[in-house]
Amino acid sequence: MIWESLQTALEDHSRQHLRRCRRTLQTPCRPETRVNGEPLLSFASNDYLGLANHPDLIRALQEGAEKWGAGAGASHLVSGHMEPHDVLEHSLAQWIGFDRCITFSTGYLANLAITPALVGRGDAVFDDRLNHASLIDAVQLSRAEHLRYPHRDLNVLEERLRHSCAKRKLILTDAIFSMDGDIAPLNELFKLAEQFDAWLVIDDAHGIGVLGEEGRGSLDYCGLLSTKATSISPRILLMGTLGKAGGISGAFVAGHSSVIEWLVQKARSYIFTTASPPALACAQGESVNLMKRSDHLREILRRNIRQFRTQALPICDDKGWTLVESDSAIQPIIVGDNAAAVSLAQALKEQGIWVPAIRPPTVPVGSARLRFSLSASHTTDQISRAISALSGTLCAP
């Protein structure tokens, strides 16, 4: 029967320690969680500023629902584009410092929109090897030639750009890489985009709200927003999400107004889907206000990152693990082997600490890791607890 091969494939998956299991939480998104009645201290969420339970967001969602109802009722181009969506677009554009924004239900859908709208057959996409899966899927949808370059390797990228005879070129990159936490060389990528007349599409899911002046993200952090020439360059498109530091869900694409208008007209994952609930747009607008005003939370997050790195480094050296070079909230410890990563995560869990083990195909084979996500909502004491659990684990690789 046609489905029987699935059972075998699932069993293979388990044997390779690749089978994922979902855990059901009995608590909201916060560091102290309860999973199957068991209390766990979580380092697994992307709620970097701890806004997911902010009373202002909850109130905006409630009041938005009172005023605008539950659903938008249609897609944006039919009758689902409501005032809260419009207000949100404007406040995002003003905050990020771009001409115009368009919003999407999720970051995945936003990424699926951009690349296929800009390039197609006969064109080429230059894609960092460690880019997020949604960017890779977008390249496949676009039918453009897919040229992957080694992680952050500008020499190889330049070589590929120089030798490409594609009609149109597009450089695609995460700003902060989601499994390593390191940052892309955005200034250099912009120079190459200028030199070879390419689009530059930047996914800042992990930088928005976390880095830069007023949390404007990685472009601001790298100084790209402050130079006049680049902030108005129509070749840059910036994707940001509101489900990580923003504490809710949803995403936006920022760019030159004619480029954004093109997305409104052409982006299939915008056109052929119901607009997100207007109440959500009300809460997302409030999230933008909160992210802007959260310098104090960003300072706490930076302090937590410093503490984590200072305390984790000697333990990693001692155990033969690698603490990845990262200034972001994503702090991975590479263990190597799949089974070792899983048993290390299990040992931590037995000590009440929840850190996800990340395995291939999410990361390259042989680089299985623990991925700590830090938040401004973690206390100094909670980080110390995680560190002492880590130093006490017996499962060296």
Ligand X SMILES: *Cc1c(COP(=O)(O)O)cnc(C)c1O
Which residues are at the interface with ligand X (CB under 6 A)? 106-108, 111, 132, 134, 174, 178, 203, 205-206, 241, 243, 251
CB of 206 to ligand X, least distance (A): 6
Q: Nearer to ligand X by C-beta: 238 or 387?
A: 238
Q: Which is nearer to ligand X, 270 or 321 (CB)?
A: 270
**CB 328 to ligand X: min, Å:** 11
Q: Are 314 and 103 in contact (CB under 8 A)?
A: no
Catalytic residue among 42, 178, 287, 328: 178
Q: Give residues with Cβ within 8 angstroms of 338, minimum separation 6.
A: 16, 17, 18, 359, 360, 368
Q: How far is the CB of 207 from ligand X (least distance, A)?
A: 9
Contacts of 206 (CB under 8 A, 6+ apart): 46, 48, 174, 175, 176, 178, 181, 244, 245, 328, 329, 330
Active site residue 206: yes
Q: CB of 10: closest distance to ligand X in angstroms?
A: 25
CB closest to ligand X, residue no: 107
Burial class (CB in 10 A: 0-12, 13-18, 19+), 196: middle
Q: Which is closer to ligand X, CB of 50 or CB of 387? A: 50
Q: How far is CA 95 from the centre of its chain?
A: 19
CA distance 176 to 322: 19
CA 336 to chain centre: 23
Nearer to ligand X by C-beta: 123 or 203? Answer: 203
Beta carbon nearer to ligand X, 48 or 190 = 48
Q: Kindly tell me which of 54 and 206 has the beta carbon lying closer to ligand X.
A: 206
Which one from 54, 76, 85, 244 is the annotated catalytic residue? Answer: 244
Task: Identify which of 28, 39, 30, 45 has the alpha carbon closest to the alpha carbon of residue 349.
Answer: 39
Shortest approach of ligand X to residue 310 CB, angstroms?
A: 26
Q: Is 178 a catalytic residue?
A: yes
Give the Å distances, CA to CA, from 143 to 125, 149, 164, 235, 269: 10, 18, 16, 20, 16
Catalytic residue among 206, 269, 377, 378: 206
Cβ-proximal residues to 5 (8 Å cutoff; 6+ apart), any chain:
none
Residues whose CB is less than 8 angstroms from the CB of residue 184 and which lie 6 or more positions away in sequence, other chains included: 128, 152, 173, 174, 175, 176, 177, 202, 218
By three-state DSSP, how is residue 35 classified? strand
Active site (annotated) includes residue 42 = no
Sequence-distant (≥ 6) Cβ neighbours of residue 90 within 8 angstroms: 101
From the list 356, 336, 346, 339, the residue with the least C-alpha distance to 22 is 356
- Considering beta carbons, is residue 20 or 163 the nearer one to ligand X? 20
CB of 138 to ligand X, least distance (A): 10
Least distance from ligand X to the Cβ atom of residue 37, Å = 28
Residues identified as active-site = 178, 206, 244
